[in-house]
Amino acid sequence: MLLTEAITKRILKLCEDKDSTPNKLGTIAGLDPSTITSIFYGKSKNPGTRTLLDICDALDISLFDFFNDEMFKDKTLEGSY
């Protein structure tokens, strides 16, 4: 699995847990709607740390909480360049 796919899955799961949607999350995080769309449709090959931090702030979680999931323990995750 690509890292961007894992990040997308994690965002979706956290939105589900918080009874939110990706678009609502983007609005709360102060992100341009195209930023969330780019992550979800694979146009953003490497979401920036600032973007992830904004998402975490909107979800009221830390970066540790974001990445503290079994799928990020998979040593076969592939990055994009």
> What are the pLDDT digits (tens) for 27-54?
999 998 888 888 888 787 778 899 999 9
Cβ contact 45:78 at 8 Å: no
Q: If you average pLDDT over every residue of the chain, what do you get?
A: 88
CB neighbours (10 Å) of residue 36?
Answer: 24
Is 81's pLDDT higher than 60?
no
pTM: 0.85
CA dihedral (31, 37, 43, 49) positive or negative: positive
Rounded Cα distance, 63 and 71, in Å: 15
Would you say how long the chain is, in residues?
Answer: 81
If you count DSSP H runs as helices and E runs as strands, how many of each does the chain have, helices first?
Answer: 5, 0
Q: What CATH class is the domain 3-70?
A: mainly alpha
